[in-house]
Amino acid sequence: MEGTERTAAEVAVDWLRKGFDAVREAGRRYISEAEERAAFDEYSQGVNRATAALVDVCNDKAAIAEALHEHWGVDLQEAEERV
């Protein structure tokens, strides 16, 4: 195994590199989760605004729930609860 032994410095560099890679991956996951939360929050706000606007112009709760279901992809039961 001559020539394949690594120095302490090489081992330390590899160890640090793995640590940096783990931190970078954790950062990517955190950013991805934050983006998903932000997108969901924006979607929820849009549904809330659409619901409020529809309620202002229409008294037919079933029609409003159907519109939310059809155009926003809201589950029909959830749409009925929102109205």
Sketch the domain layout of the chain as residue ranges: 8-82
Residue 8's pLDDT is what?
Answer: 86
Reading the chain (83 residues) residue by residue, the pLDDT tens digits are 456 788 888 888 888 888 888 888 888 888 889 899 999 999 999 999 999 999 999 989 999 999 999 988 999 999 999 88
Give the pTM.
Answer: 0.60
Q: What is the DSSP letter of 5?
A: P
- Sequence-ordered list of residues with C-beta below 8 angstroms from that of 79, at least 6 positions apart, any chain: 64, 65, 66, 68, 69, 72
Residue type at 74?
V
Number of residues that make up the chain: 83
The pLDDT score that the predictor gives to residue 3 is 61
